[in-house]
Amino acid sequence: MEKILDVRNLKLHYFTTKGAVHGVDGVSFYMKAGETLGVVGESGCGKTTLGTALLNMPTPPGKIVDGEIIIDGKDILKLNENELRKNVRWEKISMVFQGAMNCLTPVYTVEKQMMETLQHHRKMKEKEARERIKKYVNLVGLSDDVLKRYPHELSGGMKQRIVIAMALFLEPRVVICDEPTTALDVVVQAQIINLLKELKEKLKLSFIFITHDLSTEAEVSDRIMVMYAGKVAEIGTNEQIYGSQGPAHPYTRRLLAATPRLHKKVNKLDFIPGTPPDLLNPPEGCRFHLRCDVAMDKCKKEEPPVKEIEPGHFVACWRCFE
């Protein structure tokens, strides 16, 4: 399958009065058409920062300082803001943000917000635009009457579905979902996850699914990318990460050991001692070595590259290269 997204050595830093915080620091990966890539890791590891970087829309005071983001053969980092707004964002790549309420203007009805976005990108008559809006609202399991409502009149699950519809109705090739189920109860979480799986099959979408929940990723993702302290620790297929052989990187193994299992008796959940490093002054060598139980002297001095240890399985760990 073709690569629809190719990210190379992407770096996004937050420039503060104390110095540059290395939010995303040299991340490289690719996506193929029709697949779901899960992005996991602890809070502060760079997952959401990566999502906004892929839209070339970093949160201030963030700035992309290096790298390439190639979509359909074009490096979007070389485009100006007008080109990005008109031809890339929500056209080729869109995002479902973590807080649905923050994405909806409280004084606009749902229909007005969706109509404004659609007419900015498409030269459509109002009747045609309204039909497209209804189509995607229905597609996410909502009735037409929600279009006349304001955001405060909708439940959390309904607002999340509206944001998903808005991310889809310009028919982008890649949709980034940033923890779309975090603020919802477990029943609505399951509904949203099932909805995304149905939409992927029906519309042949490619998803980047960002979450800290490895059990959710196991259900929705084809491949998993594990991030730690702004860097890629491991990338592999579902089988390579969750299979009987288990993941290769010590950090991924500890994350899985801290996750409850439905079909396996666990007397005590594991935990990762210590805290993530300060990205204002990241440590030398492997950024996980201060918390790693198998770290060597080399880990403390030299940063490991991301290498392919088997087809499709990439790891950044000196232990894995021995």
Of all residues in the chain, what percent carry a pLDDT higher than 90?
A: 65
Q: Does 55 score more than 70 pLDDT? A: yes
pTM over 0.85: yes
pLDDT for res 16 = 94
Q: pLDDT tens-digit profile of 276-315?
A: 999 999 999 999 999 999 999 999 999 999 999 999 999 9
Measured between its terminal Cα atoms, the distance across the chain in Å is: 32
Evaluate whether the domain defined by 3-92+172-321 bears CATH number 3.40.50.300.
Answer: yes
Distance (Å) of CA 321 to CA 159, 214, 295:
47, 25, 13
Q: pLDDT tens-digit profile of 93-126?
A: 999 988 766 788 999 999 999 998 888 888 888 8
Q: pLDDT tens-digit profile of 26-50?
A: 999 999 999 999 999 998 899 999 9
Distance (Å) of CA 190 to CA 35, 194, 233:
20, 6, 28
pLDDT for res 100 = 67
Identify which of 296, 318, 298 has the alpha carbon closest to the alpha carbon of residue 306. 318
